[in-house]
């Protein structure tokens, strides 16, 4: 990777806002926290928004969020960084989802 591309540091907070805010009915609820570690080689993004709009951000089959992750990771790679994206969810809502999930439970093998 060239020296020039390593000097370019994307503004991840604004990039996330640009990508996600149009999907939200209330873009002002979007909260983005960006931290860099290991002398700027590792970037950790944490997002929080209204949980009722989670479906719009994730998209059908998770296509929206996967595309957003790909764009962010590509920008980080060009800058010589690695990136992790974490989306905070309301624990109560997450627990309710687990209870209503129709996914089969895995059983552990017994000896």
Where along the chain do its domains lie?
3-90
Per this entry, what is the length of the chain? 111
Average pLDDT over residues 32-58: 90
Q: Is the domain 3-90 a CATH 3.90.1210.10 member?
A: no
CA-atom Rg of the chain in angstroms? 17
Cα 60 to its chain centre, rounded Å, is 16
* pTM (predicted TM-score): 0.71
Contacts of 29 (CB under 8 A, 6+ apart): 49, 50, 53
The residue with greater pLDDT, 69 or 106, is 69
Instruction: Supply the pLDDT for residue 97.
Output: 43
What is the Cα 10 distance to its own chain's centre? 16
- Token pair, residue 10, equals 């994307």
């Amino acid at each position: 990777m060239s020296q020039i591309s390593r000097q370019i540091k994307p503004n991840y907070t604004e990039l996330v806002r640009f990508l996600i805010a149009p999907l939200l009915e209330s873009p002002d609820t979007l909260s983005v926290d960006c931290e860099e570690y290991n002398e700027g080689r590792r970037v950790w993004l944490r997002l929080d928004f209204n949980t009722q709009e989670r479906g719009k951000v994730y998209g059908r089959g998770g296509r929206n969020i996967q595309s957003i992750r790909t764009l962010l990771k590509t920008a980080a790679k060009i800058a010589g960084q690695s990136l992790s994206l974490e989306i905070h969810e309301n624990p109560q809502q997450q627990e309710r989802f687990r209870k209503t999930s129709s996914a089969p439970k895995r059983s552990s093998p017994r000896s």
